[in-house]
Structure 1
Amino acid sequence: MHPAPWTVDNSAPSYADDGMPASIRHRALPGADGHRLYLVEFDPAQFVPSAFAAAGIACPDTIARSVPKRQAEFFHGRSAARLALMQLGHTALTQVGIGAVRQPLWPEGIIGSITHAGPYAAAIALPASPRHGIGIDIEMIADGSTLEALRATAMDAEEAAVLQAAVCDQWSYPALATALFSAKESLFKAAHASVGRFFGFEAARCRRWDARSGSLHLQLTQTLCAGFSQGDTCQISVSRLERAAVFTSYLW
Structure 2
Amino acid sequence: MTPLPACCTPLNAHWPLPIQVPGTVLLSTIFDSTLLIDGDFQRSAVPLPVSIQRSIVKRQAEFLIGRLCARAALQKLDQLDYVPALGKDRAPVWPEHISGSITHNTGHAAAIVGHKTQWCGLGVDLENVLTINRAECLAEEILTTNELLRMATLPHEQIALLVTMTFSVKESLFKALYPIVQKHFYFEHAEVLKWSQTGLVQLQLLKDLSTTWFYGRKLEGQFAISRGQLFSLVAIGA
Q: Using structure 2 for the length normalisation, give the TM-score.
A: 0.89
SS in 2 for 1:180: helix
1:25 aligns with 2:12: yes
Q: 1:45 to 1:146 in 2, by over 3 A?
A: farther
**Contact 2:132/2:160, CA 8 A, preserved across alignment:** no
Aligned equivalents of 1:230, 1:200: Cα separation in 2: 14
Of 183-192 and 159-168, deviating more is 159-168
Quote the residue 1:53 is aligned against: 42
Q: 1:249 to 1:166 in 2, by over 3 A?
A: farther
Quote the residue 2:224 is aligned against: 239
Q: 1:163 to 1:119 in 2, by over 3 A?
A: farther
**Contact 1:27/1:36, CA 8 A, preserved across alignment:** no
CA RMSD of aligned residues (A): 2.2
1:197 aligns with 2:183: yes
Alignment equivalent of 1:182, drawn from 127, 143, 168: 168
**Contact 2:170/2:187, CA 8 A, preserved across alignment:** yes
Residue identity over aligned pairs, in percent, reads: 30
CA offsets per residue over residues 215-245 of structure 1, 9 Å max, x none? 2222211221233221122121011121x10
**Contact 1:167/1:176, CA 8 A, preserved across alignment:** no
Aligned equivalents of 2:103, 2:127: Cα separation in 1: 9
Alignment equivalent of 1:122, drawn from 89, 110, 115: 110
CA offsets per residue over residues 153-190 of structure 1, 9 Å max, x none? 1113431343454559xx73212211110000000010
Q: Report which structure shows greater RCO (CA 8 Å, sep ≥6).
A: 2
- Moved segments of 4+, more than 6 Å: none
1:131 aligns with 2:119: yes
Equivalences for residues 70-149 of structure 1 within 5 A:
70-92=59-81, 94-143=82-131, 146-148=134-136
Please list every run of 5 or more consecutive structure 1 residues that lacks an aligned counterpart in the other structure: 1-11
Q: Using structure 1 for the length normalisation, give the TM-score.
A: 0.84
SS in 1 for 2:120: coil
Please list every run of 5 or more consecutive structure 2 residues that lacks an aligned counterpart in the other structure: none
Residue 85 of structure 1 aligns with an amino acid whose one-letter code is: L
Shift of 1:88: 2.1
Shift of 1:81: 0.3
Quote the residue 1:42 is aligned against: 31
**Contact 1:64/1:71, CA 8 A, preserved across alignment:** yes
Aligned equivalents of 1:86, 1:141: Cα separation in 2: 32
Q: 1:216 to 1:163 in 2, by over 3 A?
A: farther
Of 34-43 and 178-187, deviating more is 34-43
**Contact 2:68/2:83, CA 8 A, preserved across alignment:** no
